[in-house]
Structure 1
Amino acid sequence: MDGPVDRRPWGPTPRAVPVSRRAIPENLKDVNQPKEPEDATQSTEEQRELQDKLEHQHEDPQGPGLGQSDRNVADESTR
């Protein structure tokens, strides 16, 4: 035998997308990079807006039972 035999029943795994060896143009190098604030410990305006939306996503000021939580609702399943 010439070398190790590939005994996987499905054979070698092909790449779904061929890898290009071309250089990345200068104007595309930072396209997918997130904006980094001056101080990385501080959140960006975009992050603050997203966090605010996430914290208040289920609030409806006109909704019924807004003052209720799972702690002050009667549990009728323990009869």
Structure 2
Amino acid sequence: MNIAAVGPKASSLVCPSCRANVVTRVEHKATTKTHIIALVLCLFLCWPCICIPYCMDSCQNADHYCPSCNAYLGTYQG
């Protein structure tokens, strides 16, 4: 569930939990999409290419957190 409209990069907003004006802390997480891209690269290109999706933020979700209270603020699905 998205609490705030967030993008792939850190966003400025008011934290609904602590009411502070913050720039979000972003953690990128691999998803099923990331694993599928890695599998396709492995099958059709070469096995050293499988690390590419894990190094690219655009192939992962961006979870946003408040740097003050660590509250979850939303996810951008890349």
- TM bucket, shorter chain: under 0.3
Query: Which structure has the larger Rg over C-alpha atoms?
Result: 1
State the TM-score, normalized to the length of structure 2.
Answer: 0.21
Higher helix share: 2
- TM-score, length-normalised on structure 1? 0.21
Q: Which has the bigger relative contact order, CA under 8 A and spacing at least 6?
A: 2
Give 1 or 2: higher strand fraction: 2
